Amino acid sequence: MKKTLFFLVAIALITQACSNNKEANNQLETNEQSWVADSKIIADVIESSEKNLEKEVFIKGMVEHVCKHSGKRVFILDTINDISIRVESGGNISGFNNELAGMTIAVKGVLKEKQITKEYIDNWESKVKAKIEEEEHDHDHDHETEGHSHSCSVEINSINKMRKWMKENKKDYYSVYFILGQDYEVL
Amino acid sequence: MKKAFFYKEWIKTRWFLLAILIGGILVEIYLFLKLGRSFRYAGHEHLWDVIVNRNQFMFHTLKYFPILAGLLIGVVQMIPEIVEKRLKLSLHLPLYESKSITLMVGYILIILISIFIISFITLILGAAIYFPLEIIKSIAITVLPWYLCGITAYLLVVFCCLEPLWRRRIINILISVCFLGTYFLSSVPGAYSKNILTMMIIPAISFLLIYLSVFRFKTGVQTN
Amino acid sequence: MKQFKHINKVILVIMILGLSWLLPQIWHLITDKATRYPFTYFSSVNHTFCTLEYEKEEFIRKDAHGNTYTEEQWDSILPMFSFRQLATDGLLPDTLNGIALSVKDIRKTNYYFRYKPNELFSPSIPLYPLFESMSGRVDLEMPGDVFRVTKDGVEFINPKTNKINFTKSLKYSKSLLDKGFGGPAKWVAGSPTTRKSYDEGYFILDQNSRLFHFKRVNDKPFVKEIKIPENIDPIFMKTTEYGDKRFYGFVISSDSKLYVISCNKYKFINIPIRFDYKNDNIMLMANLFYWNMGITTDSGKVCYAINTNDFSLVDTLKYHKEPNKMAEASKYFLPFSLKFKSYKSNYIKPRFSAVPLKYMLVNLFFVILLVLLKPIRKQKPTPLAIIITLITGIYGLTTTLLLKL
């Protein structure tokens, strides 16, 4: 009788332990899936950027670049729309490891805006133009000079894009959106 | 006749066997008290770290208990037989010499092995409270050669004591020292894990060697 | 009972084996001599090997062309090695080979690596601490638990309670299993110490010979499979966490090839050296320009100079081990030896080695000696004694004399 009772108790305890494990597993999955499933592609978030500014957003994308020096920021890419956004570390994210490059992640964070003012863009443009003039006076066409010429033209293009956007949106600043990350999950 | 043999050996060795058992218990108590203090001083995580990553072994003190136990009981059992020449009597009983010696040695061997098993199991069960399976395996494989050494030590003491000639006895002692030395070649935990079979063959050979000494004793060799 | 006299033959064998264990040990104890090779370093200035030897109570510094140098000149031709002295003397060059130099950069790119066969052949306890690799703190902290790899993933055990943390174990196991991990592991490589500037976690080779990078980042599991090139069968890996963060560690394959796993997409890069992982030691002194790799074998030492950037072989220098006359002499009278210990392994097990048959002809001498000793022994050697001495030489002779066969 005692032996039977002991056996039954043992079975009950084992079953309880197994179900605890299953419960822990389910709880684990539920916690993870709750916001990851809600994550959107970058284009959707940028489209409704004004509505989402300073609010918690959930986005996903492929990690294009991890800041090697500090690991404090990554650039994630929306491969469908070819849009990328910067994600800064914050909240539960102490930093990003280099191996994330090429992996798709879902990020929970706050959508932030950095406004590049007209004055700043004007100042930037004048500096770039000064650099171009300096290179035009330089007769030594070595590779270094050619490289500088290329980077200057890229900067001018960027400046022109910014001005165009400002004109189209009737704003006197250019918005650069980024995410202040709170958490992320590798998908 | 068998009962008489056992009774004779029991009378001769009971207090020493008890002393060995108590000694073993005291050593284990000491080991676990020391372990407890190490945990309090260093912390559990740090102690696991030094055990796993720096090859520290927490139960070194146990190393010499089995060999001392084997030597002691061998001496206690055999010296009176030889000095007081009682063995001659035992070998002249209406019993095969091999059986006589098997009974004499077998009785002590069973008790000694039982004491070692109790010691080993106590150690493992005690360690299992504090350590995971991987460390337990390492502990087990590290102490097992020491217990085998204790058994070998007893058998070799018998082998040496039963040899009638001193000249040959010295050679036997040298062989015994070599055999026992093989159990203490390394203090790295788990170093013997690939050699347990050899470590088990040595006590088996030592057991066989006893019969050679008895044969020589019985035939009364005077030279060689 | 008479059958037990045959146990005498067991004594014979035991004594021969015992002597084959003891006599070589005693001989080596008396005659062993250290083999010293000159300190060798590849100069980043004159791009040649430079050596430092101690001969006749003075240091001789020279290069492969035979030029000798004073101590100060030596420092100048080996700036990567003597950078601290040069910096103290104000003589550290600003640039070298087109690269700007600073003490900080040199320190970051100077590192050492050692491999000995006994690292591979050593008992170990398969429990590992998984550090937080992105804690935001300068120093690494002990994680408060250790993990083991099982067939179902990993299990984390708390040392304080000696119990498994099921929640954490499930979380990390899931990450491994989702990436296709098949436990248990064949090997796990990592650096289980906080005495390093950063942590790259562990590399785990699963049952199906798939390699995974496993670490804890922001208190979450990070798992990535590393594609192993087809021709590589990795049997051992030693992780490194060097300041330049160029690669994760060194991998040894079953065909004794050495690779590094680059931090750039986990590329396997072959290091062009020849060595035998079971017998040879590796010593690496790396700097910004060259890797100085010394492979010490039983017959000598080979120094390799390897370009740090592209791992191409630049130069080699070989040293042959000076024959130890005493060791050579021992081959004539110690026909075989039994050892339990080896400096190439931490396992204790019997290792038997014998000299080539030609050396055993000397055993005839011992047989003659045995016969000549008949008047002293006052007995004729038996055929058994002669055969044993013929086969086992001094061991058989000694045993025969002691046991009076």
Q: What is the pLDDT of residues A163-173, one digit of tens each?
A: 888 888 888 88
CB contact under 8 A, A95 and C215: no
| Segment B35-49, tens digit of pLDDT | 999 999 999 999 999
Measure CA A23 to chain center: 33
> In the predicted model, what is the mean pLDDT of chain C?
93
CB–CB of C243/C111 below 8 Å?
yes
pLDDT band for A34, please (50, 70, 90 cuts). Answer: confident
Among C136, C166, C220, beta carbon nearest to A24: C166
pLDDT at C256: 96
pLDDT range class, residue A19, cuts 50, 70, 90: very low
Q: Do chains B and C touch (3 or more CB pairs under 8 A)?
A: yes
pLDDT tens, residue by residue, C336-361: 999 999 999 999 999 999 988 888 78
Read off the pTM.
0.87
Structural domain boundaries in chain A: 1-37, 39-112+179-186, 120-159
Say if the Cβ atoms of B45 and C123 lie within 8 Å. Answer: no
* Domain range enclosing B146: 2-219
Contacts of A182 in chain C (CB under 8 A): none
**pLDDT tens string B8-19:** 888 889 999 999
* Number of Cβ pairs < 8 A linking chain B and chain C: 113
Interface test with C, best of B38, B40, B48 (most C CBs within 10 A): B48
pLDDT at site A172: 86
Contact (Cβ atoms closer than 8 angstroms) between residue A43 and residue A57? no
What is the CATH number that goes with domain A39-112+179-186? 2.40.50.140
Neighbours of A98 (CB within 10 A): 16
Q: Is residue A31 over pLDDT 70?
A: no
Asked if pLDDT for residue A20 goes beyond 80, the answer is no
pLDDT above 80 (res C244)? yes
The pLDDT tens digits of the residues spanning B67-89 come to: 999 999 999 999 988 888 777 77
Query: Would you tell me the crossing angle of helices C166-178 and A2-36 to the nearest 10 degrees?
Result: 60
Q: What percent of chain C has pLDDT over 90?
A: 78
Q: Whose structure tokens read 């070595």? A: A142
Cα gap C405→C391, rounded to integer Å: 16
**ipTM attached to this prediction:** 0.90
In-domain check, residue B224: no
Would an 8 Å CB–CB cutoff place B40 in contact with chain C? Answer: no
Asked whether residue B172 is assigned to any structural domain, the reply reads yes
Where is average pLDDT lowest: A156-170, C130-144, C218-232, C333-347?
A: A156-170
- Average pLDDT for C13-32: 93
In this complex, the residue of C15, C123, C148 whose CB is nearest that of residue B189 is C123
- Label the pairing between strands A40-41 and A56-66: parallel
Q: Do chains A and B meet with 3 or more Cβ pairs nearer than 8 Å?
A: no
Query: Is the pLDDT confidence value at A128 over 50?
Result: yes
CA distance B18 to chain C (A): 33
Is C171 in Cβ contact with A95 (below 8 Å)?
Answer: no
The pLDDT value given to residue B94: 72
Contacts with C193 from chain B: Cβ below 8 Å: 53
The candidate with the shortest Cα–Cα distance to A74, out of A52, A58, A90, is: A90
The answer to whether the CB atoms of A94 and C218 lie below 8 A apart is yes
* Cβ pair B214:C4 closer than 8 A: yes
Return the DSSP state at C275: -
Residue C402 CA, chain-centre distance (Å), reads 42
What the block records as the tokens of A33 is 């899936």
Q: Is the pLDDT of residue B176 over 90?
A: yes
User: What count of other Cβ atoms lies within 10 Å of the Cβ of residue A8?
Assistant: 10
**CB-based contact (8 Å) between B53 and chain C?**
yes
As for how many domains chain B has, the answer is: 1
* Dmax (CA) of chain C: 89
pLDDT at C123 over 60: yes
Chain C hits for A185, Cβ within 8 Å: 220
- In angstroms, what separates the C-alpha of A111 from chain C's closest C-alpha? 21
C21 contact residues in B (CB cutoff 8 A): 178
Hey, of C140, C170, C198, C263, which one would you mutate to test binding to chain A, going by the most A CBs within 10 A of its CB?
Answer: C170
Q: How confident is the model at residue C3 (pLDDT cuts 50, 70, 90)?
A: low
Which pLDDT value is given to residue A17?
44
**Chain A hits for C167, Cβ within 8 Å:** 24, 28
Per cent of chain B over pLDDT 90 is 72
